Every structure is written in structure tokens, then in C-alpha cells.
């Protein structure tokens, strides 16, 4: 009987805290949002299940959680290696920033830069939307976060999950779980967050603007672009080398048409495998003891602000550009500068078609959308080099 | 309520100045604009660059198949579908 009672003390029911229960409930909500509402199911489902896994209370002597890493101990019989938990090895790819560049490789192999090449002025909208990152940095500093932590929180405004994970693993690993969950949650909520801001900053006449169809881009232009863009960006901000290197390498594999097998693997099997591992490991890192803190709530608040400011920044800059342009651009397109590929471009299309069902903005919105990916990676490189010392 | 108090207690604008926040933010935005601005200029120059480069480069086909290429396959499929439907109708009759 004593053995039975001893066993009972080791069960999850006995060791469950209110925090664990809350996190498991949040995990179930994430899974529900993915399955019922179809909000970013590829991300929310692995993260949601990972949250449940990460919040099952375990015994201290058993290495099961993501933070139970392997260690070397000095004993009488020499140095002994205690292996870490399986989850800690999966989490290694997150904590050491291995997964984000691999995801960028896949994104590069599936991205078509044609719309950006055919209408280069839309690239600037991808730069303007990065204002969300830098204003949130200021907000985070004012709320008492250290400069490195503030930089990691600010990158949520880049609306790019892999970039957010990469930068926070470099600058503030202690906030990685909260930042990753905030970034992916808001990416899933792009269709909810962006439209009110887009309506607030545009008039009906502006939303009705039709844009000229993009010109045809030659295959050689598409091949030259990733090499040139990589050189430009990384010579300016070498900190973005890993992310942009993989992004443009993936794109070159696709556009060169001589490595179709490699490009196909990068945009299908590889990105899928890494997404599963990344989502699950990030979810499992949200143990209540490390996640449920006032800091995490502030990160969520700052993340929402960051998204809103980034969206407004893109829209307002598009309006500003229209002052100087003869061929006007629809300011809604500016909202796609926050990256969140391709959801924010879809939102632009949706809002545009609510005013004029025959106005097709999707192709135009893809230009600032992919420029936003480049812009947020450059911003991450800048923040890493300035704050990472 | 506690969170609001926590935020009010921690909010301090001086911290921005102490960490050179404004300088970092302005410099960061300028660098992002500089990088994407140069890409904008490069893309703007690309068609003119291609005029000089194209004579030296081999011809390349685009990813998307030409309409002529995809037509026979589609036509075959349509003919097969029509033939199958007609045969089934004949059987019923």
C-alpha cells in the first residue's frame, strides 16, 4: 500500500499546479483555434499540443522537460555524462537558433519575388512597417526590460515567427517562450488585428484605388535578384547573414531551375519537419513556472501594440508615397509590409474586395509582404549587432 | 488590477534615454530603409542592366508552362471526359 501511495505522489494529478492547469487550457484553446477556426493550424496545433506536453508535472529526478539538459558531473570514477531529456534535444534547435534559418530556406524556396521586381517602389512599404519593431523597443525599455530583452520583444512587430525566435534566442533566451507564443499568436490573429487599423487610416476613395497590373519579369532577373539582394542586405547588416543567406539561397535554388529537387525538398519536406519540431518544442517550453509571470503579459501587450503600429506604419507610408506619385498605390497594400506571409496579403485582398469586389490587390500586396520579410530580418540583424554585445 | 499596478510601477521614460533607445530606434529604421532602398534602386536599374547582360546569357524559360504546352493535355482530358459521359448515357438508353 505504501508503494501505491508513493506512486500516487509521483502522478501529474498530485503535482499539478493552477498554473499548469491554466497553460494546459490555453494549449487546448490553441488546438481548438487551429481545428475549428483554421487560424494558422500548421503552427497553432503543434504549439498547442506542445503546451499540454510541457505542462504535465514531472518528477525532479526524471529528465523529461525541455529545460532538463544533459550535463557533465565530476564523480569519484571520473567525469560522468548525464543525458538530457528528449524534449531538451528537440528544444536545442530553438535555443541555439537552428530551426529559424532552415524555415527561411524553405520560405525562400517557395517565394516568388516577381511582384516585387515588377513594382519596386512597393519595397519601401516593407521598410516602413518595421517601425513597429523600433517603437516597441522603446515601449519595452520604458517598462523596465533590459535593452537586449527590449530588442527581442520589439521583433514581434516584424510579424515573423522564425525571426522572432532567432533574435530572442540570441538576445533574451529567458523570454523565448513568451516571445515565440506572442509572435505566432498574433500572426494567427492577423485577420482580426489588421482590418480595424486599415479602416482607421484610410478613406473609402483610397481603398477603391486600382493598381496597374505588374509587368512580366524575365527568369534571369529572378535569378540575379537573390544574389544581389543578399549582398546588399548582409553588407549593410551582417547580423542578418544567417536568415537572409538561407532565404536567398532557397530562392536561388528555386529560380535557377537546375536544382528543382533541392528546392522542392526545402519547400515541402524540410520546412514541414522543421515546423513540426519548432512548434512542438516552443509549445513545450511554456512551463507554467517560467511562463506565467507579469513579464509575459507585458510581452503580449507590447506584441499587440507592435503589430498595430507596424500595420499603421505601412498604411500611412503608402499614403505619404501617394503625395509624390502620379500612379497612385492603394494604401491598404502598406499593411502587408508587416510580413506574416501570406496572411497579411490575403487580408489586404479581403479588405479591398469588401469595397470593390473586382479589385484584385493580392498580387500587389505580395511585394511589400516579401519585402517585409527581408526588412524584419535586416532589423533583427541590426538589433543583434547593437544589443548583443 | 495587479498587472496595471505592476505596469505603472515599472513604467519609466528615463530608461529609454539611459539605454540610448531613441538613437538605436532611429538608426535601426535608417538602416532598414537604407537596405531596402538600395534593393529598390537595384530593382529599378535591373531592366536596364538586363539590356546589356541578355546578349551574354543563354535563353531561359519561365517556371509557368506556356499556354500552348498545357492545351493539348487539357483538350485530351476534356475529350476523354465527354466520351466517357456519352458512353455511359448510351448504356443507360
- The pLDDT of residue B68: 45
Residue burial A2-12, b: 16+ Cβ < 10 Å; e: rest: eeeeeeeeeee
- A281-314 per-position pLDDT tens digit: 999 998 888 888 888 888 988 988 888 999 999 9
Q: Which three cell numbers stand for residue A221?
A: 532577373
Nearest to B32 among A141, A220, A378 (CB): A378
Phi, psi of A59 (to 5 degrees): -85, 145
pTM of the full structure = 0.86
A138-143 — which CB contacts under 8 Å span 24+ positions?
A: A138/B16, A138/B21, A138/B22, A138/B25, A139/A302, A139/A305, A140/A298, A140/A302, A141/B15, A141/B16, A141/B19, A141/B21, A142/B11, A142/B12, A142/B13, A142/B15, A142/B16, A143/A298, A143/A302, A143/B7, A143/B10, A143/B11
A131 inside 8 A of chain B by CB = yes
CA distance A379 to chain B (A): 6
Q: Give the distance from residue A130's alpha carbon to the nearest chain B alpha carbon, in angstroms.
A: 7
Question: Using CA atoms, how far apart are residues B31 and B27, in angstroms rounded to an integer?
Answer: 6
Round to whole Å and give the CA distance between A363 and A330. 12
Q: Which of residues 21-80 of B touch A (CB under 8 A)?
A: 21-22, 24-29, 31-40, 42-44, 46-47, 49-50, 53-54, 57, 60-63
Q: Interface pTM (ipTM) of the complex?
A: 0.88
Give the model's pLDDT for residue B66. Answer: 45
Closest CA to A368 of A162, A157, A115, A81: A115
Which residues on adjacent β-strands are paired with residue A80? A73
Distance in angstroms (rounded) separating the CA atoms of residues A15 and A4: 16
* A161-196: pLDDT as tens digits: 899 999 999 999 889 888 988 888 888 888 888 999
Q: What is the pLDDT of residues A11-31, one digit of tens each?
A: 888 888 999 999 999 999 999
The pLDDT of residue B73 is above 90: no
Amino acid at each position: 500500500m505504501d508503494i501505491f501511495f508513493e506512486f500516487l505522489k509521483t502522478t501529474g494529478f498530485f503535482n499539478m499546479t493552477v498554473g499548469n492547469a491554466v497553460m494546459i487550457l490555453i494549449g487546448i484553446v490553441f488546438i481548438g483555434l487551429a481545428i475549428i477556426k483554421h487560424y494558422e493550424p500548421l503552427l497553432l496545433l503543434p504549439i498547442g499540443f506542445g503546451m499540454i506536453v510541457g505542462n504535465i508535472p514531472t518528477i525532479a529526478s526524471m529528465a523529461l522537460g525541455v529545460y532538463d539538459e544533459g550535463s557533465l558531473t565530476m564523480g569519484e570514477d571520473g567525469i560522468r555524462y548525464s543525458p538530457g531529456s528528449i524534449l531538451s534535444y528537440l528544444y536545442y534547435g530553438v535555443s541555439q537558433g537552428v530551426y529559424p534559418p532552415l524555415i527561411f530556406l524553405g520560405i525562400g524556396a517557395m517565394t516568388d519575388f516577381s511582384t516585387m521586381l515588377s513594382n519596386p517602389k512597393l519595397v519601401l512599404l516593407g521598410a516602413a512597417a518595421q517601425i513597429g519593431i523600433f517603437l516597441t523597443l522603446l515601449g519595452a525599455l520604458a517598462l523596465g526590460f533590459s535593452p537586449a530583452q527590449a530588442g527581442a520583444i520589439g521583433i514581434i512587430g516584424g510579424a515573423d515567427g522564425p525571426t522572432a525566435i532567432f533574435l530572442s534566442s540570441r538576445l533574451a533566451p529567458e523570454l523565448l517562450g513568451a516571445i515565440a507564443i506572442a509572435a505566432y499568436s498574433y500572426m494567427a490573429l492577423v485577420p482580426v488585428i489588421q482590418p480595424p487599423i486599415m479602416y482607421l487610416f484610410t478613406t473609402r476613395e483610397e481603398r477603391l484605388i486600382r493598381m496597374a497590373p505588374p509587368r512580366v519579369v524575365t527568369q534571369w532577373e529572378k535569378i540575379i535578384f537573390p544574389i544581389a539582394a543578399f549582398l546588399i542586405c548582409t553588407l549593410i547588416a551582417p547580423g542578418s547573414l544567417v536568415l537572409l543567406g538561407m532565404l536567398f539561397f532557397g530562392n536561388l535554388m528555386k529560380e535557377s531551375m537546375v536544382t528543382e529537387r533541392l528546392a522542392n525538398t526545402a519547400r515541402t519536406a524540410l520546412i514541414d519537419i522543421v515546423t513540426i519540431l519548432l512548434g512542438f518544442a516552443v509549445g513545450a517550453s511554456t512551463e507554467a513556472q517560467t511562463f506565467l509571470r507579469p513579464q509575459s503579459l507585458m510581452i503580449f501587450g507590447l506584441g499587440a501594440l507592435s503589430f498595430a503600429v507596424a500595420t499603421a506604419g505601412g498604411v500611412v507610408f503608402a499614403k505619404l508615397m501617394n503625395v509624390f506619385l502620379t500612379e497612385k498605390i492603394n494604401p491598404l497594400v502598406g499593411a502587408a509590409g508587416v510580413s506574416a506571409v501570406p496572411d497579411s496579403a490575403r487580408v489586404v485582398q479581403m479588405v479591398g474586395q469588401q469595397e470593390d469586389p473586382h479589385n484584385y490587390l493580392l498580387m500587389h500586396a505580395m511585394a511589400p509582404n516579401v519585402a517585409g520579410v527581408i526588412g524584419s530580418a535586416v532589423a533583427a540583424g541590426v538589433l543583434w549587432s547593437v544589443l548583443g554585445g | 488590477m495587479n498587472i496595471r499596478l505592476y505596469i505603472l510601477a515599472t513604467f519609466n521614460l528615463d530608461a529609454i534615454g539611459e539605454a540610448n533607445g531613441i538613437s538605436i530606434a532611429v538608426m535601426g529604421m535608417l538602416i532598414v530603409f537604407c537596405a531596402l532602398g538600395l534593393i529598390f534602386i537595384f530593382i529599378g536599374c535591373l531592366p536596364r542592366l538586363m539590356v546589356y547582360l541578355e546578349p551574354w546569357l543563354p535563353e531561359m524559360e519561365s517556371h509557368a508552362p506556356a499556354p500552348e504546352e498545357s492545351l493539348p493535355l487539357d483538350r485530351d482530358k476534356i475529350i476523354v471526359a465527354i466520351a466517357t459521359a456519352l458512353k455511359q448515357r448510351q448504356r443507360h438508353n
